Amino acid sequence: MHSFEAMKTEQIEALAKINPPTFAGVQQSPQILEWLWEDFSAVAGDQPSFECWPSKEPYMLHEILLAGWGCPIGELFDLEKLGEECKRLGRWSFFVTSEVCNVSYPIFFKVVVPSGRLIEWNADTG
């Protein structure tokens, strides 16, 4: 998110014209799927797509994680802001909850850090 926010309007417009779009992200592979299965109940990243796009495999992680395992996927998380808050508190573990609304994209999430402080993000208000 930090890199995106630092971009000039012309750079963003140039990226928007790339068709199909390409995104860095988690690799689609059996090894990654095994790692996710064994160690995570939800995944998230700070990219427009959690996994690399387009896929170099005949499948997408989204299909397996969401439909197959019921594993939530978070995208466009502001991990810099989250890291700053964790550093300020000296705590690096926390509870994350996600509220999915009846729309084609999630628009709200909350993070409760160990001190009990609530960090909220709403797509409508930023």
Mean pLDDT score, 66-84: 87
- Count: domains in the chain: 2
Which is nearest to 66 in space by CA: 50, 53, 52, 79?
50
Domain that holds residue 92: 78-126
Query: Do 31 and 67 sit in the same domain of this protein?
Result: yes
In one-letter notation, the amino acid at residue 51 is E
Query: Do 112 and 125 sit in the same domain of this protein?
Result: yes
The residue count for the chain: 126
Identify the band that residue 64 occupies on the pLDDT scale cut at 50, 70 and 90.
Answer: very high
Identify the band that residue 17 occupies on the pLDDT scale cut at 50, 70 and 90.
Answer: confident
Q: Is 58 helix (H, G, I), strand (E, B) or coil?
A: coil
Query: Do 35 and 64 sit in the same domain of this protein?
Result: yes
Query: Do 62 and 83 sit in the same domain of this protein?
Result: no
**pLDDT at residue 28 in the model:** 94
Query: Do 45 and 26 sit in the same domain of this protein?
Result: yes
Which is nearest to 79 in space by CA: 7, 13, 3?
3
